[in-house]
Amino acid sequence: MTQNTKNFEFNQYHLGLWYGAYRLIIATCLLLIFSLTYPQLNTDYRYPQLYFYVLICFVAIGCIQLLSLKKIRANIPQQLTLLFTVDVIALSLLTFALDGPNLHVSLLFVITIFAASLLLDAKKALIITLIAVISVIYQIFLGSIFDFSSLNNIGNSALLAFLFFVVYGSAQIVVRRFQLLENLNFSQSLELNRLQNLNRYILEQIELGYLVLDENCHIVLSNPAACMLLGIPPLYAYDKSPLYKIQPDLFELIKFEQLQDGERFQFESQLSRYHMHIEVQKLMVPHQTLTLLVLQDAGKLNQRVQQLKLAALGQLSASIAHEIRNPLAAIVQANELLLDSDLDQQNLLSQMISKQAQRIDRIIQDTLNMVRNRETHPAQIQLNQFIPQMIQEDLSDIIHQIRCSIQNKISITFDEAQFRQVLINLIRNAIRHNSPEHAQIELNIYSHESNVRIEVRDFGTGVASKDLSYLFQPFFSTEITGTGLGLYLSHSFCEANQAKLNYVEQKQGACFRIECLRVALN
C-alpha cells in the first residue's frame, strides 16, 4: 500500500466520523422539532406517525453506525456505503411522510449525495445517487395509486431527481480536483524530502563546519564537522539547542548583536582540541535573520596555504629558470667564441653578451615587480590632465606614434604609479605590434554608462585564437625577446585597483580595454 493510499484512507476515516456526527445531530434536531411543534403544525405532516418513527429509527441507527465507525477501523468504505444507504432510505421516507418533496429534506438529500461523492468511489457514489433518484420517483407512482399525487409534487420530484445528478457530477469534478491537488502536494513533499536528505548528506560529507544560529543565539542547523571542531555531541538536524548550553566558550566569545557579515576571527575552546578559524555570514530569510558560522581547522588551513605557496614558488622558479636559460646559453656560447675571433667578431659577440645580460636583468626586474607585494594607494586621477602629461614624460620617444582621444573631465580612482606602468606597458606593446602601414596607434578614453573605458588599439595582426587563453599568464610571450610579464603585471595592477583589463577582438589589430568605475569630479 502506497503512502498516498494511506493518506486517502486516513482522510476518508476522519471525514466519515465528522459526517456521522453531523447526521446524528440533524436527526436528533428534526426529532426535537417535531416533538415541540407537532401540536401547532400537525397539518404539515400527512403521515405524522411514520415521520416520528422514521426519525426515532434514524437516530438509533445513526448512534450505532457512529460508534461502529469510531471503534471498528476496518472495512471503512463498506461502513460508509451502508451509512449513506440508510440516509437515503430515511430521507425518502421522511419525504413520503411530508406528502412530497420538501425544501429542507431536499437540501439534506443534496448534502448526502455530495458527501457520498467525496467519501466513496465513483461507482458507489453513483449507486447512492440512483437510489435517491428512485426513492423520490417511486413516490409519484405510489401517490398515483393512492390518489394523493399532484402535478406540483411530480414537478418537484423530477426537479429534485435532476438536481441529484447535477450534484453528483459536480462532486465528482471536485473530487478529481482534490485528488489532483493531493497527488501534486504528495509528489512535492517527496521531492522536498529528497532535497533535504541530499542537502543533509552533502553537509555531512564536507570538511567545513557549518553552524547556523537564529536571533536568540540558538543552534538551528549544524553538521558533523562543526560538532567535531567545537567538541560538542552531534546535534539532530531540526533540534534547536541554546548555544550557551552546548558551547559556552563560543557563546561568551561572540557578542551576537555585533557580528558583522564577512567578519573573521580565531577561536579556541576548552571543549575542543582544535584551533579554529571562523567566518561569519548573514543569511536573510523571511521573518528572521540567521547567522552562519563557517568553521575551519586553522592548522589544516595554514598547511593548505603553505602548500599553495610552495606550489606557486615551484612554478615561478621553473618559469624563471626556463626564461633565463636561453639568454644564459647565448652568453656562454658567445664567451667561448670570443677568444678565437677577430676584432669585429669580438665586438659583435660583446654586444650579444651585453644584450643577453640586459635581457636577464629585465627578466629579474619584472619578476621582482611581480612578486613584490606592494601596497596600493588609490587616488583620484583626472584623465584629461594626467594622460597628456604621462605621454610627454614617459613616452616622449614615441609621442608622434600615439593618436589620443579623451572626453573632457573624466576622473577615476587608481594607484597613480601602477596606472602609469599599465598604460606604458600597453602603449609600448601596441607600438611593437602595429602594422608598418599605420603610423599611429589609438588611445581612446570615454565614458560608458557608469564606467570609464580606456582602450589601446593597434592595427597589426592581433592575437591568435590559440593564444587568447594564455594572454595574461606570466612568462607567456609571442616574441623571442619578450619576458611575458608585461600583460600579467598590468592585469594584476588593474585587479588590485578594482578595474578590469580585457582583450577585445577586432577585425584588424588588437585592442586592450581597461574598464573602471567613473568618479564624479569635486
Tell which residue, 326, 320, 330, has the closest CA to residue 352.
330
Q: Where are the beta strands (DSSP E) in 85-217?
A: 209-213
Measured distance CA(322)–CA(316) in Å, rounded = 10
**Is residue 215 located within the same domain as residue 349?**
no
Residue 263, classed as helix, strand or coil, is: coil
pLDDT at residue 400 greater than cutoff 70: yes
**Is residue 269 located within the same domain as residue 318?**
no
Between 284 and 4, the more confident residue is: 284
Order of all β-strands in the sheet with 500-505: 402-406, 441-448, 451-457, 510-517, 500-505
pLDDT for the residue 28: 87
Q: Which of 323, 352, 371 is the last residue of a domain?
A: 371
**Is residue 281 located within the same domain as residue 316?**
no
**Is residue 100 located within the same domain as residue 214?**
no
Q: Return the residue matching grid coordinates 529528497.
A: 194
Give 269-276's long-range contacts (Cβ < 8 A, gap of 24+).
Answer: 269/230, 269/231, 271/230, 271/231, 271/232, 271/247, 272/229, 272/230, 272/231, 273/231, 274/229, 274/231, 274/298, 274/299, 275/299, 276/209, 276/229, 276/230
pLDDT tens sequence across 282-314: 888 877 888 889 998 888 877 887 777 677 666
Q: Which residues contact 395 (CB under 8 A, 6 or more apart)?
A: 402, 424, 427, 428
350 within domain boundaries: yes
**Is residue 21 located within the same domain as residue 148?**
yes
Q: Which of 327, 344, 371 is the last residue of a domain?
A: 371
In this structure, the chain runs to a length of 522
pLDDT at residue 373 greater than cutoff 80: no
Q: Which residues contact 211 (CB under 8 A, 6 or more apart)?
A: 219, 221, 222, 226, 230, 292, 293, 295
Q: How far is CA 511 from CA 81, 83, 502, in A?
A: 83, 86, 9
What's the pLDDT band for 156 if we cut at 50, 70, 90? low
pLDDT for the residue 1: 46
192 within domain boundaries: no
pLDDT averaged over the chain?
A: 78
pLDDT at residue 495 greater than cutoff 50: yes
Once rounded to an integer, what is the mean pLDDT over residues 84-96? 81
479 within domain boundaries: yes
Percent of the chain topping pLDDT 70: 79
Give yes or no for a contact between 210 and 235, defined as CB atoms under 8 angstroms apart.
no
pLDDT at residue 98 greater than cutoff 80: no
pLDDT at residue 455 greater than cutoff 90: yes
pLDDT for the residue 147: 47
pLDDT at residue 154 greater than cutoff 80: no
What's the pLDDT band for 457 if we cut at 50, 70, 90? very high
pLDDT for the residue 149: 46
Query: For strand 441-448 and strand 402-406, is the pairing parallel, antiparallel, or unpaired?
Result: parallel
Give yes or no for a contact between 499 and 507, defined as CB atoms under 8 angstroms apart.
no
Once rounded to an integer, what is the mean pLDDT over residues 307-322? 68
Measured distance CA(327)–CA(314) in Å, rounded = 21
Measured distance CA(333)–CA(110) in Å, rounded = 110
199 within domain boundaries: no
Query: Within 10 A of 293 (CB to CB), how many other CB atoms are there?
Result: 23
Once rounded to an integer, what is the mean pLDDT over residues 219-248? 81
Q: How far is CA 271 from CA 230, 266, 275, 324, 484, in A?
A: 7, 15, 11, 54, 53
What's the pLDDT band for 224 if we cut at 50, 70, 90? confident
47-51, 241-245, 481-485: lowest mean pLDDT where? Answer: 481-485
The CATH number for 309's domain is 1.10.287
pLDDT for the residue 514: 92
Domain coverage including residue 290: 206-300
**Is residue 139 located within the same domain as residue 219?**
no
pLDDT at residue 3 greater than cutoff 60: no
**Is residue 415 located within the same domain as residue 282?**
no
Q: Return the residue matching grid coordinates 589601446.
A: 456
pLDDT tens sequence across 172-202: 677 677 667 777 777 787 888 888 788 778 7
Percent of the chain topping pLDDT 90: 4
Q: How far is CA 108 from CA 30, 89, 100, in A?
A: 11, 12, 14
pLDDT for the residue 250: 85
Once rounded to an integer, what is the mean pLDDT over residues 403-425? 87
pLDDT at residue 499 greater than cutoff 60: yes
Measured distance CA(432)–CA(327) in Å, rounded = 21
pLDDT for the residue 513: 92
Half-sphere CA count of 158, side-chain side, radius 13 A: 7
**Is residue 384 located within the same domain as residue 491?**
yes
482 within domain boundaries: yes
Q: Would you call 307 exposed, middle or buried from its count of C-beta atoms within 10 A (0-12, 13-18, 19+)? A: exposed
Q: Which of 185, 216, 244 is the last residue of a domain?
A: 185
311 within domain boundaries: yes
The CATH number for 478's domain is 3.30.565.10
Once rounded to an integer, what is the mean pLDDT over residues 272-290? 85
Residue 395, classed as helix, strand or coil, is: coil
Half-sphere CA count of 394, side-chain side, radius 13 A: 17
pLDDT for the residue 6: 58
pLDDT for the residue 454: 92
How many distinct structural domains can be found in the chain? 4
**Is residue 30 located within the same domain as residue 151?**
yes
**Is residue 238 located within the same domain as residue 345?**
no
pLDDT tens sequence across 16-44: 788 888 888 888 888 888 888 777 666 66
pLDDT tens sequence across 339-364: 777 788 888 888 888 888 887 777 77
Query: Within 10 A of 368 (CB to CB), how many other CB atoms are there?
Result: 9
191 within domain boundaries: no
Write out the three cell numbers for 95.
Answer: 419525504
pLDDT at residue 107 greater than cutoff 80: no
Once rounded to an integer, what is the mean pLDDT over residues 360-385? 75
The CATH number for 246's domain is 3.30.450.20
pLDDT for the residue 374: 58
Once rounded to an integer, what is the mean pLDDT over residues 87-114? 75
**Is residue 352 located within the same domain as residue 242?**
no
pLDDT for the residue 151: 44
pLDDT for the residue 480: 47
Measured distance CA(367)–CA(361) in Å, rounded = 10
**Is residue 449 located within the same domain as residue 365?**
no
180 within domain boundaries: yes
